Structure 1
Amino acid sequence: MKKIPLRRCTLTNKVLPKQELLRIVKTKDDQVFVDLSGRANGRGAYLQKDLDPSLFLKKKHLLEKALKIKLPEKVLLEVEDILKSGR
């Protein structure tokens, strides 16, 4: 039986299978983007895909703290769109 990788949501602290989470990555040159493949190099933080977008906007400072960088507006909008669409 294959082991399912688990990760913790940065905002809710729930431990979930990696496939149920959205990964945000900060690279060494301080670029921040949504990693849909889940394999990009860099510091990653995870969010539940079924998270309420209003909760995300309220607690985005926790994500910024985890990535150790202020999130660009472009990334905030992209994450909000993904959460609203439920991708």
Structure 2
Amino acid sequence: MAVQRKVPLRKCVATGEMHPKKEMIRVVRSKEGEVSVDTTGKKSGRGAYVSKSEQAVEEARKKNSLGRQLEVAIPEEVYEELLKLIRRESIL
């Protein structure tokens, strides 16, 4: 009998929905206050998760939920990078 491993769930800052970590994109704030998209999920710093959907990213942008979660102003480039990643994945 195979042991069923627990799938780590994370909450989307935009929608409030719980999803497996693999279905989310992590945005991380470093100690220096730099915000970046963490595709590996292993960067050090405070992380916040967004669902892999354009709607979730737009909602996070509108509500500034990423900014509140990470306690820092989110540069527009971060949202653009998130959207690019999602669009690239939806093509594949």
TM-score, structure 1 normalization: 0.86
Indicate yes or no: 2:82 matched with 1:79.
yes
Residue 67 of structure 2 corresponds to 64
Aligned to 1:55: 59
CA contact (8 A) 2:60 2:66 kept: no
Change in CA separation of 1:85 and 1:55 when aligned onto 2, cut-off 3 Å: farther
- Percent identity over the alignment is 35
If the length of structure 2 is used for normalisation, what is the TM-score? 0.82
Which ranges in structure 1 are unaligned for 5 or more consecutive residues? none
Q: Is the 8 Å Cα contact of residues 9 and 48 (structure 1) preserved in structure 2?
A: yes
C-alpha contact (below 8 Å) 2:30/2:44 kept by paired residues = yes
Alignment check: 8 A CA contact 2:13 2:60 kept: no
Q: How many residues align?
A: 86
CA apart distance, 1:39: 0.9
CA contact (8 A) 1:27 1:41 kept: yes
Aligned with 1:84: secondary structure? helix
Larger Rg: 2
1:10/1:46 contact within 8 Å kept: yes
1:24 Cα offset (Å): 0.1
Select between 19-28 and 68-77 the one with higher mean Cα deviation: 68-77
